[in-house]
Amino acid sequence: MAKDVLCEVNNCHYWKNGNKCSAEQIYVVSHQGNEAKNQAETDCKTFKPEGNW
């Protein structure tokens, strides 16, 4: 399992300096339940907009 998860989405509640994700779990899914063929066909469901807490 990965020790550090890097993320460049700096408007996410879990984003920390150094592009670190501070979420306890990460949930990544493929678009519309289809098999992903590349990165663009995946989504991070852990994302929460900053300030919406």
Please state the pTM of the whole predicted model.
0.81
Q: What are the domain boundaries of the chain? A: 1-53
Give the up-direction half-sphere exposure of residue 28: CA atoms within 13 A in the CB hemisphere: 10
What is the model's pLDDT at position 42?
95
Q: How does pLDDT run across 1-53, given as a tens digit for each residue?
A: 678 899 999 999 999 999 999 999 999 999 877 899 999 999 999 999 998 66
What is the model's pLDDT at position 51?
85
What is the model's pLDDT at position 32?
79
What is the model's pLDDT at position 31?
86
Buried-state track 20-32, b at ≥16 Cβ within 10 A, e below 16: ebebeeeeeeeee
